[in-house]
Amino acid sequence: MASTPYGLRDVKITPITTTAGVGAYGTMIDLPNAQTFSFSESEDYSELRGDDKVAAKRGNGPTVEWTLENGGISLEAYAAINGGTLTVSGTGATTKKTYKKKATDARPYFYVEGQAISESGGDFHAIVYKCIADGSLEGELKDSEFWISKADGTGIGNTAGDLYDFVENATKTDIVVPTGTP
C-alpha cells in the first residue's frame, strides 16, 4: 500500500453573509487544486514615551495576513472572495457561468479552512475565521500554462473574538461546514 505524501490536501472557503446586522455562513466552496494557504500573525504596537525613554508598549490587536493560491478557477470561489455577481444559464453541455464585478461591488468577508495530511495518517487544519481580500487578486492566462489564481488579505476576529485555530487530528478528518456566529 502506497502512503500519501505529506502536504496541503484541501482548502475550502465559506462566505459570510449579513442580513439585518446578523451574520451567517453561506454554502462552503472548494478551492480547486489548492497549492498554497499561507498565513502570518502580526500586530501593530503603540509606544508610550516619556522622560526620553519607552515606558510601555501596547498592541492594537492581532490580525492574520493570508495568501491563497490554486490552479484553475472556480467562479463560485472567486465571487465569494471578491464580491460581484455570478449568473448561471443553460443546463448540461450548454451551461454558461458569467462572473461580473462592478465598481460598486465591495469585497465580502469569508471563512477559510485548509487541511494538510501528516505523515502519521492524521491531519492538520488551519482555520481563519473572518477573512477579507484587502490585498491583490491575481490570475494569468498564458500559452501552454495552467491558470493560477492568487488572493491576499487579512483575517480579523469574528464576533466571538476568535482569530484563528490550528487543529491537529490523529486521524484524517474532513473539513466541515462552520457553525456558530461568524
Q: What is the mean pLDDT of the chain?
A: 89
Mean pLDDT of 165-172: 93
Q: What is the pLDDT of residue 4?
A: 56
**What is the DSSP secondary structure assignment for residue 77, as one 8-state letter?**
H
**Confidence category of residue 5, pLDDT binned at 50, 70, 90:** low
Q: What is the pLDDT of residue 92?
A: 92
Domain 7-44+59-169 has CATH 2.30.110: yes
Residue 90 confidence (pLDDT) above 90: yes
Q: Where are the beta strands (DSSP E) in 20-162?
A: 22-25, 29-30, 34-50, 53-71, 85-89, 96-100, 109-117, 123-132, 137-140, 148-156
What 3-state DSSP class applies to 85? strand
Distances in Å between the alpha carbon of 40 and those of 65, 66, 74, 164, 181? Answer: 5, 7, 25, 11, 24
Largest CA distance in the chain: 75
The model's pTM is: 0.86
Residue 3 confidence (pLDDT) above 60: no
Q: What is the pLDDT of residue 16?
A: 94
Q: What is the pLDDT of residue 143?
A: 80
Between residues 143 and 42, the one the model is more confident about: 42
Q: What is the pLDDT of residue 77?
A: 93
The residue behind cell 446578523 is 22
Tens of pLDDT, residues 106-153? 999 999 999 999 878 899 999 999 999 999 998 887 787 777 889 999
Residue 24 confidence (pLDDT) above 50: yes
